[in-house]
Amino acid sequence: MPPSINYDSSRELRIFLEEQGLGMRKKYGQNFLIDREARERILDALEFRKGDGLWEIGPGLGAMTRGLLDRGALVRAFEIDPGFIRILKELWGGREDFILIEGDVLKTWPSGDGGEPYLLGNLPYTIGAALLGELIEKKRFFKRMVITIQREVARRMTAGPGSGDYTSLSVLCASAYTIRPVQVLRPSSFYPAPHVDSQVLRFDLRTDMDPSSYPAFFYSLVRSLFSSRRKTVKNNLSGFVASLKEGENRDAAGGLGKGRIREITGEVLGASRLSPERRAETLSLEDFLTLAGVLEGYHGHY
C-alpha cells in the first residue's frame, strides 16, 4: 500500500523520514514546503490545463507532485535522492500520468523530450543558477516556469542594468523570459527551515522577440563581457575576439595579431554605437544583442 504522508506538518514529516530510514542531504538542498497555501499559490501561478505536460525538478516526497496530478498534469519528474525515488515509485509508480527520471537533472535530461510547455522546480542554491543558464543557452524554452529559489539568486535573475545584482544570469533570463515575483517564503514555510528567505518566481516566455533566433555569439559574449566586471567592455571584448580565433586554431602567424584585435574591437564597438569605456553591468539586453549581431557580421571576415 502507498505510504500516507502529511505534507503540512514538520513533526509528522520528521517521523515519516525516521520510520523510512531516510535522511536529509544538505548537498541536495532538501527542504520540504509545508505551507499548504503557498503550495496552492505556486500551482495557481503555473496556469496549466488538465492534460498539459509538465516537468518537475526535485519532487522530494511528492507534495507538489500530488497537487500537479490532482489538477490533471502529465508529470515528468527528476529526482536524485535514492530514498525519495523509492517513495515516489511507491506513491505513483506505474501511473500513465507520472514518469520518474532518476539522477542529476543537469546530466539526465532526455534528448527529444517532447517539448512539455511547463516547468516547476524548488531549485537548490547549488544548481539553480547553473540549471537555468544551461536551459536557456541550449535553447530549451518553456511557455511558463515557476521556480522557488533563494532570494539572493532571485535578485540576480531579475536585476536590471546598473544594479549591483546585475550579472550574466540577469541578461540570460531577460533574453528569454519576462519574470515576475509570486511570493516570498520565510524559513518557517519549510522543513527543515533554511537559513535564508526563498522567492517564488514566474517566468513567461517572451512573445515580443524570438530567443531561438539570437546571434550565435550572444550567450558566450554575455558571459565573456561579465567575466571581469572591473574591466571595460573594450578590454573584455578584445579578449573575446581573440578567443574566437584561438577556437579556430588560428594564431598571430595567421594574420590576427594584437593590433588587429584592437582594430576589430574598435570597429565592432563603433558599429554598435557603444562607448568602449562602459562596463558590462551598464549594458541592456538590447545592447548585448546589437553587439552580438555586429560581431557575427564581422566574424569570418577578419
> What is the domain-level CATH number for residue 17?
3.40.50.150
- Last-in-domain residue among 187, 209, 231: 209
Sheet holding 144-150, edge to edge: 98-102, 74-79, 53-57, 118-122, 144-150, 198-205, 177-185
Is residue 15 included in any domain, yes or no?
yes
Percentage, residues of the chain above pLDDT 70? 91
Question: What pLDDT, on the 0 to 100 scale, is given for residue 128?
Answer: 86
**Domain of residue 227, CATH code:** 1.10.8.100
Question: What pLDDT, on the 0 to 100 scale, is given for residue 301?
Answer: 56
- Last-in-domain residue among 151, 180, 209: 209
Is residue 5 included in any domain, yes or no?
no
Residues paired with residue 147 on neighbouring β-strands, in sequence order: 121, 201
Instruction: Give the Cα separation of 37 and 240 in Å (integer).
Output: 48
Is residue 3 included in any domain, yes or no?
no
Provide the domain count of the chain: 2
Is residue 261 included in any domain, yes or no?
yes
Instruction: Give the Cα separation of 51 and 236 in Å (integer).
Output: 48
**Residues 217 and 295 sit within 8 Å (Cβ to Cβ):** yes
At 179-222, the pLDDT tens digits run 999 999 999 999 999 999 999 999 999 999 999 999 988 999 99
At 2-54, the pLDDT tens digits run 889 999 999 999 999 999 998 766 555 678 999 999 999 999 999 999 999 99
Is residue 93 included in any domain, yes or no?
yes
286 & 195 share domain: no
Structural domain that includes position 198: 10-209
171 & 281 share domain: no
Number of Cβ atoms within 10 Å of the Cβ of 19: 9
Instruction: Give the Cα separation of 275 and 145 in Å (integer).
Output: 36
How many C-alpha atoms does 262 have within 13 Å on its Cβ side? 3
